[in-house]
Amino acid sequence: MCPCGLWCLWDCLMLWFGSRTLTTINAQKEIGKSLGQAYRGWVCSRKVRLRIVVWRGGRDDLRSSGMTTAATPLSERSAWKALAQHAAAIKDVHLRTMFAEDPARGERFTAEAAGIFLDYSKNRVTGETLKLLVSLAEESGLKGRIEAMFTGEKINITENRAVLHVALRAPKGESIFVDGVDQVPPVHVVLDKMSDFADRVRSGEWKGFTGKKIKNVVNIGIGGSDLGPVMAYEALKHYSQRDLTFRFVSNVDGTDFAEAVEDLSADETLFLVASKTFTTLETMTNAHSAREWALASLKDDAAIAKHFVAISTNAKEVSKFGIDTANMFEFWDWVGGRYSMDSAIGLSTMVAIGPDAFREMLAGFHAMDVHFRTTPFAENLPVLMGLLTVWYTDFFDAQTMAVLPYEQYLKRFPAYLQQLTMESNGKHVTLTGEHVATETGPIYWGEPGTNGQHSFYQLIHQGTRLIPCDFIGFYKTLNPLGRHHDMLMANVFAQAEALAFGKTAEEVKAEGVPEALVPHKVFEGNRPSNVILADKLTPKVLGTLIALYEHAVFTQGIIWSIDSFDQWGVELGKVLATRILGELEGTGELKHDTSTNRLIEKYRANK
Ligand code: F6P
């Protein structure tokens, strides 16, 4: 029977159940899910199935959001068209004028939630812009898609998976069902197991093979299994147990491993092998090298159980590697790699800061989750930030976004955000497989603020590109030292002010600057930024801040109608590297393009 026909039948059944026996949409969905699962067995073509899941997602969206145009291509949505006209009208309006004409702007264009204050008044938007952006979010079915994520629907359609990082921070007692199974209780089972383990390592109760206390913890992982852990360790170092040393190995470049263990003793070192799949080339290569390094000094396979634990969704591969699955911390396929730092992948964070602080971090994530799910879009921090990114990317041709933390502990935050944002929204096809009609995910980059001021800020202030900036600062420092913190924060406010208002030629001339130098000293201004403020960098605030960006990324993906949760773009390079590896180690004939052949030959001759 044709798939379309079956789905029509399914929909009729849904309507019948809906009208006869069921009163809630959720109940309809549960029955729909079971019927859908049974049906999936009938469909053999992956492409056909994908299209059907997309279609069904659109229908769910319509049902739950009440929107009627969610599946309309972006450039045909009425809010989009209105935004295009509006953008043309306000493109040349300067922020100086906007502030001059609206004395309340600096107060009005702000929002605060979950301990985070967002000043977005220095963006090139008016009240009308915001109204239209919010309409775009509504017309794109954002509300329904948020609900779909929070209720465990399989919104990662190309992998047919739920996207449930929000379940990782759901309090005990909440329920989120996937395929009829509540996913929250197992999250807390793993959290408890992690807590027990972390306490044992921190207290010295967990001993190495020779009976010595563990002094060093080395996390081996890459991508989401590394960037989150490193960023969180650095961000929360202030709260970490200082008699433990933490190292992070990710690169397959042997130097990374060699330098990480250079001054460590194997009998005092614990390796956390973090990999969702437990098949990632870099991680497995480093894990095998770690095994050899440990055994070279401990000289007994039985030592592995004391010095290696695994964090993975793949128990089979974990045992194949030789790690007892009793020493494995589990997570689930609905946790995307770049959304996994609050799962067991965060074990190094928990060992560093302790289970209580880790749970505070989860509470921070959860506070932002609740805000995102329940707050009207016009006051919703992640929605506003996501929409502003769409605004600049698609109507101002902005290619990049700078994230500039004025907090030394957040030095790895921009690197972490690069995977979160770019692996999520670096997509060129829509959910239905068509080429997108607009630009999608911008390039995110950044460095701690004052350092950046003395390197790349020149281009942000006076270059030819528009680079919207997020400045992140805190009212209090964790390390009070003379006037340092006031100086640091003075720079946040000064940079945002300078970018927005600049300095006119008249102002420069009035300072007595020679005529020839005037153009060089003019700051055009009208360069947008957000200022994000919080009390001080605590585990809770870190969680809230990360969730803010996670949900901003989600918002962008919904507007662009792309799958923010797959990452097929990393596959081709992996496959080619595996093939080329064999060729680098062999002498066989090469069948690549002439450039690649020549490079391989050169390497073979000189290695
Ligand atoms: O190559 C990309 C990627 O799949 C990321 O999405 C992921 O975070 C990383 O590799 C590591 O994957 P794993 O945790 O399975 O080793």
pLDDT in tens, 202-213: 999 999 999 999
Residue 49 has pLDDT above 70, yes or no: no
Residue 412 has pLDDT above 90, yes or no: yes
Q: How confident is the model at residue 473 (pLDDT cuts 50, 70, 90)?
A: very high
Active-site option among 47, 454, 591, 607: 454
Q: Is 94 annotated as catalytic?
A: no
| Tokens 């053999």, residue located | 44
**Which numbered atom of ligand 1 lies nearest the CA of 227?**
8
- Report how far residue 420's alpha carbon sits from residue 64's, in angstroms, rounded to the nearest whole number: 27
Strands 177-178 and 116-119: unpaired
Q: Quick one: pLDDT at residue 63?
A: 38
Q: How confident is the model at residue 66 (pLDDT cuts 50, 70, 90)?
A: very low
User: What would the pLDDT profile of 354-382 be if each residue is shown by its tens digit?
Assistant: 999 999 999 999 999 999 999 999 999 99
The answer to whether 562 and 431 have CB atoms below 8 angstroms apart is yes
**Which numbered atom of ligand 1 lies nearest the CA of 570?**
1
Length in residues, the chain: 607
Q: CA 52 → CA 43, 75, 593, distances in Å?
A: 10, 23, 38
Nearest protein Cα to ligand 1, atom 6: 337
Q: Is 574 annotated as catalytic?
A: yes
Residue 512 has pLDDT above 60, yes or no: yes
Report CA(337)–ligand 1 centroid distance (Å): 6
Report CA(276)–ligand 1 centroid distance (Å): 7
Report CA(311)–ligand 1 centroid distance (Å): 13
Report the side by side order of strands in the sheet with 308-312: 245-249, 216-220, 269-274, 308-312, 328-330
| Tokens 């147990």, residue located | 241
Residue 2 has pLDDT above 70, yes or no: no
**Which numbered atom of ligand 1 lies nearest the CA of 345?**
14
Mean pLDDT of 579-604: 97
- Report how far residue 8's alpha carbon sits from residue 38's, in angstroms, rounded to the nearest whole number: 15
The alpha carbons of the chain give a radius of gyration, in whole angstroms, of 26
Q: Quick one: pLDDT at residue 67?
A: 35
**Which numbered atom of ligand 1 lies nearest the CA of 280?**
16
- Within its chain, how far is the Cα of 321 from the centroid? 29
The answer to whether 271 and 218 have CB atoms below 8 angstroms apart is yes
User: What would the pLDDT profile of 75-122 be if each residue is shown by its tens digit?
Assistant: 999 999 999 999 999 999 999 999 999 999 999 999 999 999 999 999
Q: Is 30 annotated as catalytic?
A: no
User: What would the pLDDT profile of 211-232 be if each residue is shown by its tens digit?
Assistant: 999 999 999 999 999 999 999 9
Q: How confident is the model at residue 449 (pLDDT cuts 50, 70, 90)?
A: confident
Residue 176 has pLDDT above 90, yes or no: yes
Residue 4 has pLDDT above 60, yes or no: no
Q: How confident is the model at residue 127 (pLDDT cuts 50, 70, 90)?
A: very high
Residue 42 has pLDDT above 80, yes or no: no
Residue 16 has pLDDT above 70, yes or no: no
Residue 241 has pLDDT above 90, yes or no: yes
DSSP secondary structure letter of residue 410: G
The answer to whether 478 and 238 have CB atoms below 8 angstroms apart is yes
Residue 13 has pLDDT above 70, yes or no: no
Q: Quick one: pLDDT at residue 475?
A: 98
DSSP secondary structure letter of residue 119: E
The answer to whether 57 and 431 have CB atoms below 8 angstroms apart is yes
Report CA(551)–ligand 1 centroid distance (Å): 20
Helix-, strand-, coil-residue percentages of the chain, each rounded to 5: 60, 10, 30
Alpha helix ranges (H) inside 67-126: 78-90, 95-101, 105-108
Q: How confident is the model at residue 464 (pLDDT cuts 50, 70, 90)?
A: very high
User: Of 439, 405, 441, 394, nearest to 546 (Cα)?
Assistant: 405
Report CA(278)–ligand 1 centroid distance (Å): 9
Of the listed ranges 18-32, 160-174, 404-418, 517-531, the least confidently predicted one is 18-32
What percentage of the chain carries pLDDT values higher than 90?
A: 88
**Which numbered atom of ligand 1 lies nearest the CA of 222?**
11
Number of Cβ within 10 Å of residue 494's Cβ equals 11
Nearest protein Cα to ligand 1, atom 10: 223
Token digits of residue 282: 């870099």
- Report how far residue 560's alpha carbon sits from residue 389's, in angstroms, rounded to the nearest whole number: 11
Residue 488 has pLDDT above 90, yes or no: yes
Of the listed ranges 7-16, 179-188, 407-416, 500-509, the least confidently predicted one is 7-16
- Residues whose CB falls within 8 Å of the CB of residue 428, separated by 6 or more in sequence, listed in order: 435, 436, 440
The answer to whether 512 and 103 have CB atoms below 8 angstroms apart is no
Exposure string of 41-64, with b = 16+ CB inside 10 Å and e = fewer, is: eebeeeeebbbbbbbbbbbbbbbb
Best residue among 570, 571, 572 to mutate for probing ligand 1, ranked by most atoms within 8 Å of CB: 570
List pocket residues of ligand 1, CB cut-off 6 Å. Answer: 222-225, 275-277, 280, 283, 337-338, 423, 567, 570
Residue 596 has pLDDT above 60, yes or no: yes
Best residue among 272, 275, 276, 279 to mutate for probing ligand 1, ranked by most atoms within 8 Å of CB: 276
Active-site option among 316, 536, 574, 602: 574
Question: 502: phi > 0 → left, psi -120 to 50 → alpha, else beta; which?
Answer: left
Residue 524 has pLDDT above 90, yes or no: yes
- Report how far residue 443's alpha carbon sits from residue 96's, in angstroms, rounded to the nearest whole number: 27
Token digits of residue 456: 């790349």
Mean pLDDT of 302-314: 97
**Which numbered atom of ligand 1 lies nearest the CA of 225?**
14
Active-site option among 138, 153, 234, 423: 423
The answer to whether 273 and 309 have CB atoms below 8 angstroms apart is yes
Nearest protein Cα to ligand 1, atom 3: 223
Q: Quick one: pLDDT at residue 20?
A: 33
Q: Mean pLDDT, the chain, as a whole number?
A: 91
Q: How confident is the model at residue 310 (pLDDT cuts 50, 70, 90)?
A: very high
pTM: 0.90
Report CA(522)–ligand 1 centroid distance (Å): 46
Report CA(598)–ligand 1 centroid distance (Å): 30
Higher-confidence position of 18 and 542: 542
- Report how far residue 402's alpha carbon sits from residue 408's, in angstroms, rounded to the nearest whole number: 16
The answer to whether 276 and 337 have CB atoms below 8 angstroms apart is yes
The answer to whether 211 and 201 have CB atoms below 8 angstroms apart is no
Q: How confident is the model at residue 325 (pLDDT cuts 50, 70, 90)?
A: very high
- Report how far residue 417's alpha carbon sits from residue 420's, in angstroms, rounded to the nearest whole number: 5
